[in-house]
Structure 1
Amino acid sequence: MFDIQEELKKLPDKPGVYIMKDANGIVIYVGKAVVLKNRVRQYFHQSANHPPKVQAMVAKISEFEYIITDSEVEALMLECNLIKKYKPKYNILLKDDKHYPYIKVTMNEEYPRILKTRRVEKDGAKYFGPYSSGFAVNDAIDTLKKLFPIKTCNRKLPNDIGKFRPCLNYHLKKCLGPCQGEVNKNEYHEMMRKICSFLSGQYDEILNDLKAQMEEAAEQLEFEKAAQIRNKISSMTQLSEKQKVLSTDGQDRDVIGFSRDATDLCIQVFFVRNGRVIGREHYIFEGEGDEEIGYSLSTFIKQFYNNVQFIPSEIVIQNEIEDSETISQWLTEKRGHKVSIRVPVRGELVRLVKMVSQNAEVSLKLFKDRLKRVDNVNEEGINQLMKLLELEQRPRRIEAYDISNTGSSEIVASMVVFIDGKPARQEYRKFKMKSVEQQNDYASMQETLYRRLSRAKKEKEENIEKPKFSDLPDLILVDGGFGHVSAAQQIADEFEYRLVIAGMAKDSRHRTKSLVYNGKEYELSAYMPLLRLITEIQDETHRVAVDYNRTLRAKRYTHSELDEIEGVGETRKKALLKHFKSLAAIKKADIAQLMEVQGINEKVAIKIYNYFRNK
């Protein structure tokens, strides 16, 4: 029998890796530590304020083991390999460990070629990339083949010179024909050097050379040749424009930014080579939105660079990470040259990080939009809701309520309706408090529900043809905890309605955390479809309440003395101000002058005149 408390006492004060297992012996988490004794014990401290995900993990730990290493860098390397091996449930997992494509120029050969590859080797060839897709590489190689008459076959030169007939590319003048021994090796290498310069982002030399050739051909009246060179210039310009210029220092770097919401995290990487973006990639981590971002970025960087073939000299990140020095040392050893990790605070790099973060935000939104288009997503959330709260019937109609106020003014409430897991905006309602004059969320919630339920009762008693409140909810969700649920339940009991009422509770960062129901709090981190559904409902309810509050505030701040005059509405007020230009001029006008304004008759003119004279 594994005694956790006894085993904690045996932990050494050395660096290493710890492996957490559940009751079935399955690895559920792998982590590294500078001091194993301190790090592992933190998980089991009674007073530890762990996030929900860590709490859920600790509850499932039945045993643990550890491996001592000589240094933190060794621990980091071992951690990466073990995560890749076991794919633990509670680690942030980089599901996509694909090898990105590169363009390889075989400068180690006497007659170099241009190839697509997914492996970077120390073989004397030059590599350019990574590119975000094989299509992007193929497109670039095809364009280069049109621009330069390069060798594309696999014949081994100079051994095979003169042994074969020239291919079709030779006759079409798409290859210089080094297999026929007609090409000077130095001249061929010079052409390949220009191609490498082009792939490095140095376009000016080649473009200027082509323009000079085009002008020379035109002067010699070789217009067909000039047109061909012109087409090459156009192709080269288009290819160069596909690579966005981000900086002028020409350095290789990866720029990493992120965006997250209550449930999910998106990390975006821009590959910058020689100051130009040649590719980008984003990764969605479902259920990791509430994780500490420094930990998430650190975990991502370790897994990402454990797989890639090329590591740049600089990695620019949006947020500080705890073990940046250790990761930098590990990457330096892996690359063979210095690798720095930095969080910019000013200058051009801050703008780059912001741009990457904005792209991550767009990618996360597109991911969420795709989820919403899948019909069974909210269906699964509702099924989890029924099971978690042990509801007797399926909550087809869900009504959610939230309160918004500005101190003692503009106290409002929103009623948002979801039917079959989807927002029914035509059913939304907004309330402005009538009896509550001071900030009191409980009293405001009670007034709102009282008015809503009394309207339902009245509509049924009077048999109104087009009722707006008669359809009672299968579930009421209130924004808040136990106190809000209790306040709402009192009103339901008063009307003798058997309504299911639950509270939507948030964490310290105002993110949806749990449901409060029947005196219990239900953590949602283990129920991702349900968490997404409740988050969507809570955010929508909050948005409607805040928007209504802002609308009322805007009206109050634009309030005019004209609003106090009977018969002067918004249209007549605008007409008066447009005609007289100012309120002071309206006050001085007589009845005849007031009647000159469109929409102002004698009766209204007299009321306006008397109002200001009496005042």
Structure 2
Amino acid sequence: MAEPASYRPQPGEIPTHPGVYRFLDPHGRVVYVGKAKSLRSRLNSYFTSVKQLPPKTFAMVHAAASVEWTVVGSELEAIQLEYTWIKQHTPRFNIMYRDDKSYPYLAVTMNEKVPRVQVMRGDKKPGVRYFGPFHPAKAIRETVDTMLRVFPVRSCSAGVYKRAAASGRPCLLGYIDKCAAPCVGNISVEDHRELAEEFVDVMAGRPGPHMRRIEGQMKQAVTELRYEDAARHRDELEALRRVFERNAVVLPEATEADIFAFAQDELEASAQVFHVRQGRIRGQRGWISEKVEEIDDARLAEQLVLQIYGDMPDAERIPREVLVPALPENHAELTEWLSERRGARVSLRVPRRGDKAALLGTVAENAEQALKLHKARRSSDITTRSAALRELQGALDLAEPLMRIECFDVSHTSGTNVVASMVVLEDGLPKKRDYRRFSIRGDVAVDDTAAMHDVITRRFSRYLKEIAEQGPLESGEISEATGRDEQKFAYPPSLVVVDGGQPQVNAARWALDELGLQEMAVVGLAKRLEEVWLPQDDFPLVLPRTSEALFMLQRIRDEAHRFAIQHHRSARSKQMTASALDEVAGLGPKRRAAVVAHFGSVANLTKATAEQVAEVPGIGAQTAQSILEHLRGSGPESG
């Protein structure tokens, strides 16, 4: 760990202008990004009275080895540059509200001849009516299921619709009255469109006329003694009431707002948001993130707004109002940025009274409860994980904390389809986006040790190449706004773990020594007796069976093995599929590869119909039939 005094800029070097700064570790990885009205005042606060800094800030300044800054001309420029750097580098010590899913919406494809109801994520398409966002996705699926009982609009895919039309038989939804089955003429295309328009009308918050119509039909059926029809209309009314109870009106129907609130302690922050559309709460989401420094609700709101709406693929979905518990200092610039993103005016404000203020209080209560629940679930886990990392560092007599551990495993079947995996732990937790797969070919695929040497060489050759391209790091101002392009694969581990005993460990050590990485620590974990092997040692290191360090090594070894087996099975399945197609007449290498890529396995291909096989580019109906006949060893496919 570096001492902050070793890279502190000289007095007078730091400008007093507003700007954005980055702390970088010894390997050039950005660990923290911040902005300040006065760079000199803000950066000096990190280097004076270091021992009095909050725990996370203390860890950050000791993990860093240099600091860079860029002077900007306005607060809006600072907002944009800080957001760009956080998104580019995903710094470890920044508050990151991680969520790998886009918002789910209920969509009705009114741009199609036969409209379809479906749950959609991602970019907005012209001519499609959207309702939401909903969260969790289960809520929207329940709403769709209920609505289809009353308005049985088509919800099947294009392929299912075409096959039903060709066969003259509706799919299951048509048989159970959850689809009016326009595919087989049970309803005309025109009447089906009217049904879809009614569906849209109800979802837009205008159920009254339709509920009154259904109620009139129910009474008419009772008068005519058609009790089964009356019961069906009664059930339809109840279904509509359930939908609108689940999406109760809490604000005026014209309201479109996202309402944010926070709860925090000295180490972590909890954020919650309610999505209000057409005056109804359509969804709720929450995040928990670690804090690096003392931060108030205004700064939390700024960072969350930047991340949520900056990453939104379709900026038109930004609501007209964003309600927060405290306004950031640069709220005017933030409002301008949101309005530019949306292409229309956005109001960023704090509700002071009325229903919106009351709803903000409810969101804040949810954030508080989420933080309490998170603390209860994670407290023992954090303690155990930290103890395991400290114990492993002591057992291996390593000077550096084990911030990042990488584990490698090789998998094959009798020397064929040789593959390898790399999995990563950071702070004792899996970092799945940094996982890597390797295919081993040629002479190095003859045994595990040669394969391990090849994988280690390839992984760390890439690291050395990118370090060489990056060049030396120096503290001070940089001229480019985007800085250096971060390569996560090049970031080196504190410890390399290999699945195996002494031969595999020595192979890995040999590869690292050839690359000049003699200081990088390597160990192996042998499956037979769960022994820890060090390079060139004749005897293993035996950790106690109750050791948390041993449990951590076992977990990362098993994860590497799982990931390698997954890759191996995929490679073997594709090879088997390709081999099975070798003798199909008229099927060349390119089209064979296209079939393999499309279906992935012999099992999937065998289950497919000739029409599905013919959907592969370059495969005609006759060739598709030949493929299936060859695989099934039978006559022409029966309908």
Cα distance in 2 for residues equivalent to 1:371 and 1:241 = 35
Deviation digits for residues 47-100 of structure 1 (CA, Å, limit 9, x no counterpart): 999756445544555433345667544543342232133221321112324212
Greater RCO structure (CA 8 Å; 6+ sep)? 2
CA contact (8 A) 2:256 2:321 kept: yes
The residue number in structure 2 matching 1:96 is 99
Cα distance in 2 for residues equivalent to 1:158 and 1:133 = 28
CA contact (8 A) 2:75 2:330 kept: no
Question: CA 1:6 to 1:49, structure 2 compared with 1: closer, same or farther past 3 Å?
Answer: same
User: Out of 133, 136, 140, which is 2:136 matched to?
Assistant: 133
Alignment of 1:123-272 (within 5 A): 123-155=126-158, 164-168=167-171, 169-170=173-174, 173-180=177-184, 183=187, 185-272=189-276
Q: Verify: 1:277 aligned to 2:284, yes or no.
A: no
Cα distance in 2 for residues equivalent to 1:8 and 1:119 = 48
Cα distance in 2 for residues equivalent to 1:266 and 1:384 = 26
Cα distance in 1 for residues equivalent to 2:385 and 2:152 = 58
Where in structure 2 are there 5+ consecutive unaligned residues? 392-639
The residue number in structure 1 matching 2:321 is 314
Secondary structure of 2:258's partner? strand
Question: CA 1:183 to 1:350, structure 2 compared with 1: closer, same or farther past 3 Å?
Answer: same
Q: Verify: 1:353 aligned to 2:356, yes or no.
A: no
Deviation digits for residues 438-462 of structure 1 (CA, Å, limit 9, x no counterpart): xxxxxxxxxxxxxxxxxxxxxxxxx
Deviation digits for residues 273-296 of structure 1 (CA, Å, limit 9, x no counterpart): 111112111212235694333222
CA contact (8 A) 1:261 1:289 kept: no
The residue number in structure 2 matching 1:294 is 298
Q: Verify: 1:17 aligned to 2:27, yes or no.
A: no
Q: Structure 1 residue 355: deviation in Å?
A: 0.8
User: Out of 340, 344, 347, which is 2:351 matched to?
Assistant: 344
Cα distance in 2 for residues equivalent to 1:124 and 1:323 = 37
The residue number in structure 2 matching 1:539 is none
The residue number in structure 2 matching 1:31 is 34
Alignment of 1:424-573 (within 5 A): none
* Residue type at the aligned position of 1:318: P
Question: CA 1:260 to 1:16, structure 2 compared with 1: closer, same or farther past 3 Å?
Answer: closer
Deviation digits for residues 75-128 of structure 1 (CA, Å, limit 9, x no counterpart): 433422321332213211123242121111112222211111111314221212
The residue number in structure 2 matching 1:368 is 375
* Residue type at the aligned position of 2:130: Y
The residue number in structure 2 matching 1:82 is 85
The residue number in structure 1 matching 2:400 is none
Q: Structure 1 residue 358: deviation in Å?
A: 0.9
Where in structure 1 are there 5+ consecutive unaligned residues? 387-615
Deviation digits for residues 194-243 of structure 1 (CA, Å, limit 9, x no counterpart): 22232233332322221122112222222111111111111221222112
Deviation digits for residues 6-60 of structure 1 (CA, Å, limit 9, x no counterpart): 59637484x6533221344221211245676675566557899975644554455
Q: What is the number of equivalent residue pairs in this alignment?
A: 384
Cα distance in 2 for residues equivalent to 1:344 and 1:114 = 36
Q: Verify: 1:120 aligned to 2:123, yes or no.
A: yes
Deviation digits for residues 242-291 of structure 1 (CA, Å, limit 9, x no counterpart): 12432124311111111223433211111111111121112122356943
Deviation digits for residues 132-181 of structure 1 (CA, Å, limit 9, x no counterpart): 12222221222222221212233499999975514144455543343356
TM-score where L is the length of structure 1? 0.55
Alignment of 1:327-338 (within 5 A): 327-338=334-345
CA contact (8 A) 2:104 2:134 kept: yes
Cα distance in 2 for residues equivalent to 1:159 and 1:379 = 56
Cα distance in 2 for residues equivalent to 1:71 and 1:159 = 57
Question: CA 1:284 to 1:161, structure 2 compared with 1: closer, same or farther past 3 Å?
Answer: closer
Cα distance in 2 for residues equivalent to 1:383 and 1:170 = 57
Question: CA 1:189 to 1:325, structure 2 compared with 1: closer, same or farther past 3 Å?
Answer: farther
Secondary structure of 1:5's partner? coil
Secondary structure of 2:374's partner? helix
CA contact (8 A) 2:253 2:280 kept: no
- Sequence identity, in percent? 31
CA contact (8 A) 1:33 1:72 kept: no
Secondary structure of 2:142's partner? helix
The residue number in structure 2 matching 1:473 is none
Cα distance in 1 for residues equivalent to 2:45 and 2:125 = 44
| Larger displacement relative to structure 2 (242-251 or 183-192) | 183-192
Secondary structure of 2:333's partner? helix
CA contact (8 A) 1:270 1:279 kept: yes
Secondary structure of 2:289's partner? strand
| Larger displacement relative to structure 2 (286-295 or 250-259) | 286-295
Cα distance in 1 for residues equivalent to 2:73 and 2:293 = 34
Question: CA 1:365 to 1:41, structure 2 compared with 1: closer, same or farther past 3 Å?
Answer: closer
Question: CA 1:383 to 1:286, structure 2 compared with 1: closer, same or farther past 3 Å?
Answer: same
Cα distance in 2 for residues equivalent to 1:312 and 1:337 = 10
* Residue type at the aligned position of 1:153: C
Q: Structure 1 residue 314: deviation in Å?
A: 0.8
Cα distance in 2 for residues equivalent to 1:242 and 1:49 = 50
The residue number in structure 1 matching 2:419 is none
Secondary structure of 1:9's partner? coil
The residue number in structure 1 matching 2:475 is none
Question: CA 1:266 to 1:26, structure 2 compared with 1: closer, same or farther past 3 Å?
Answer: same
Deviation digits for residues 554-583 of structure 1 (CA, Å, limit 9, x no counterpart): xxxxxxxxxxxxxxxxxxxxxxxxxxxxxx
CA contact (8 A) 1:166 1:180 kept: yes
Cα distance in 2 for residues equivalent to 1:65 and 1:381 = 30
CA-atom RMSD, angstroms? Answer: 3.8
Cα distance in 2 for residues equivalent to 1:384 and 1:137 = 42
Question: CA 1:371 to 1:177, structure 2 compared with 1: closer, same or farther past 3 Å?
Answer: closer
Deviation digits for residues 538-567 of structure 1 (CA, Å, limit 9, x no counterpart): xxxxxxxxxxxxxxxxxxxxxxxxxxxxxx
Secondary structure of 2:9's partner? helix
Question: CA 1:209 to 1:69, structure 2 compared with 1: closer, same or farther past 3 Å?
Answer: farther
* Residue type at the aligned position of 2:219: E
Which structure: larger Rg?
1
Cα distance in 2 for residues equivalent to 1:188 and 1:112 = 8
Secondary structure of 2:205's partner? coil
